[in-house]
Every structure is written in C-alpha cells, then in structure tokens.
Amino acid sequence: MNFILKSLNEKNVLFFISFLLIFYVFINFTYERFGTTEINNDNTFIKLTRTELKIKINQQLTSDLSYKEILSKKCNITGDMHDRHKVRWVKSLFLKKIYQLSGEFNSNIPYYINIILHCSLIILSLIILNNAFQLEKIHIIFFLLYITFIFQFHLGEYSYSIFEMFFMSAAIYASKKRNIILFFLIILMATLNRESGFIIILIWLIFNLELKKIIILSIIVLTIFVVINHESINCMINPKFFVPLEKQEGQIILSELGSVNIFSRILIVTINFILPIGLIFYNVFKSKTKNKMLIIIAIIYSIVFLFATPVYQMSEKLIILPLIILSFNLRNIKII
C-alpha cells in the first residue's frame, strides 16, 4: 500500500493524464485524418459510421497499394516533394509488416496499433525528456498544450514527424548522458525515418564539444544511409530530389504572402516561425550561458521549414518541440 502511495506522486499522475489526453486527441485526429465522409455513386456525400471508418482505415493501413510507390524504390525526379520519400522505405516497410501481420489475427487490430504506436512515441518523448532534465510540471503542461494545438491542423505526414520528435528527444537524452553508442543508434534510425534526421547529429555538440567525434559519426551514418538507399543514388545527387526547386502548392513564397490580407500574413508567420523558433531564441538569449549550437540548429530548422515544407504542413513543428523544452531547461527557469 505504501509503495502504491509513493508511486502516485503528482508527476506520475500528470504523466498518466498526459497519456489519456494524447490518446483522446489522437483518436479524434485519426478520424479526421482519414476522412469521415465518402462520395456515393450518385455523387453525394455520405457520412461514415465509426465502424465503416475503422474498416476504411484498416484497409489503408494494410493495403499494398498504400506502400507501393515508396517501396518500389524507383528513382524519379518529378519536382514533387514526394520524390524524397523513396529514401524513407525502411520505416514504411517496418510499418507495413506490423499492420499486415496484426491484421492477420484480427482485421481491426491495425487501427488500434496505429493509434497506440504513435501515442506511445509521443508520451515516451515526454518521459525521456523528463529523465534528461526532471521537467517542471509547467514544462509538461506546455508539452501537452503544444501537442494538442498541432493536432488541430491537417497533418499530412504526421507519422514521420512523431517518429522524428521521439528520436530528437532520445538524442537529447543520449547527448546529455554522453552515451555515444546509444546516440549513434538513434541517429541511424532517425535518418532512415526521414532525411532531416541528419540535423539531429548536431544535438551531440550542445552538451559535448567533440567535433571530431561527431564528424566521424556523421561519415559512418551517411555511408550506411547511402548503402541502404543505393538504388536512389542518382537521384540523391540532384538538389531537386530533397528540395524541389519548383513552386509547391502551399509552400511559403514572398509573392504568396503578399497576396493575402495582413491578418492572415501575421498569423502564418507567427504560428510557423515566431512562436516555435522564437521561444528557442528567447530562452537561449535569456540564459547566462548562451548555447550557440542550439541557435544554429534552430536556424537550420527555420530554413528547412521555409524552403522544404508547405506552409499548411504543421506536423513538422512537432520536431522542434523537444528543442523548445531543452531551451527552457538550459535557461533553468519556469515558463511563467
């Protein structure tokens, strides 16, 4: 009985509530993400029941067609942002196997595995950050508010971003604990999830001034990445493969910002840049020890968000949530 009472401290209760909140938010998001309506034969919209929607989601998660384009590994440069998905096939194959194997036991299991997997990665990110810094309760609440806010938007590539947020959190922990082997494994998985995982390598330099070690690690990870994606080498050497030079629908360009009203312009810039990136800058400049590497990483992500992601794609902002939490803890004050 005493053990149970000791376990029920405020922070553990907060973590439990956090999981329930994230689970609830993600279930609602899942229904909206996969579409709650369909077009009937007479071109009218019909609202799907919960059961029908689960069937639709399960079919999409287990269908070979959902993974065909990425797993084909055919190297083509069309100028579309989806070209770069060809180097993300390892993660797609991993999820495909999980969903299809689970679907053999019960056709509804993939739906629940998708929710539990991604919710677990989000809450694990929070727990890992807490193990690294012993977060204040206000930090945990900020984390939850940030997650809840992001999941109110349409998130096209939410899975990549949730995985990358988890890897970012784990990399921060490994760097702070000076565990280079764990850090290497995390970075390797991060780069196979999404090519922007290479940026996470710089996290080591926030806590450890070991540039030579990180250069060697980068070469090893890059070599493994190229070997695994050797079929796409001819495409990878073309800049248009990772950052399409043609205008993409929804991508931020000055002319587009000038065509919208001033209120919308301010809202776009504030949500996408000033709030997430600005928090990191503010905390670094307010801290006694200015961490230049954290500023460099924040600037790199600003450039990536500006030129390599559509403006309406809010899921990428999940990636820098661990960096914001890190900046608050480097500043060593509460968010009040």
Report d(CA 135, CA 139) in Å as an integer.
6
Sequence-ordered list of residues with C-beta below 8 angstroms from that of 299, at least 6 positions apart, any chain: none
305-to-155, 266, 298 alpha-carbon distances in Å: 14, 17, 10
Which of the listed ranges 71-85, 132-146, 220-234, 296-310 does the model predict with the highest average pLDDT?
Answer: 132-146
Q: Other CB atoms closer than 10 Å to residue 223's CB: what's the count?
A: 10
SS3 content of the chain, % helix, strand, coil (to 5): 75, 0, 20
Report d(CA 328, CA 322) in Å as an integer.
10
**Looking at the predicted structure, is the pLDDT value of residue 249 above 70?**
no
Domain positions in the chain: 11-32+44-331
**Looking at the predicted structure, is the pLDDT value of residue 4 above 70?**
no
Per-residue pLDDT at 75: 74
- Tokens 């796409």 belong to 232
Beta carbons of 263 and 311 less than 8 angstroms apart: no
pTM for the structure as a whole: 0.86
- Tokens 């229904």 belong to 31
**Looking at the predicted structure, is the pLDDT value of residue 7 above 50?**
no
Report d(CA 203, CA 321) in Å as an integer.
14
Per-residue pLDDT at 336: 41
Per-residue pLDDT at 215: 94
More confident residue, 265 or 137: 137
Per-residue pLDDT at 60: 87
Per-residue pLDDT at 230: 80
Percent of the chain with pLDDT over 70: 78
> For 160-192, what is each residue's pLDDT tens digit?
999 999 999 999 999 999 999 999 999 999 999
* Confidence grade of residue 244 (pLDDT, cut at 50, 70, 90): low
Per-residue pLDDT at 68: 84
**Looking at the predicted structure, is the pLDDT value of residue 133 above 70?**
yes
Per-residue pLDDT at 294: 93
**pLDDT average, residue stretch 60-80:** 79
Tokens of 61: 């998660």
> For 88-128, what is each residue's pLDDT tens digit?
888 999 999 999 999 888 888 999 999 999 999 999 999 99
**Looking at the predicted structure, is the pLDDT value of residue 334 above 60?**
no
Residue 47 main-chain phi, psi, to 5 deg: -85, 130
Percent of the chain with pLDDT over 90: 36
**Looking at the predicted structure, is the pLDDT value of residue 311 above 70?**
no
* Confidence grade of residue 289 (pLDDT, cut at 50, 70, 90): confident
**pLDDT average, residue stretch 134-142:** 90
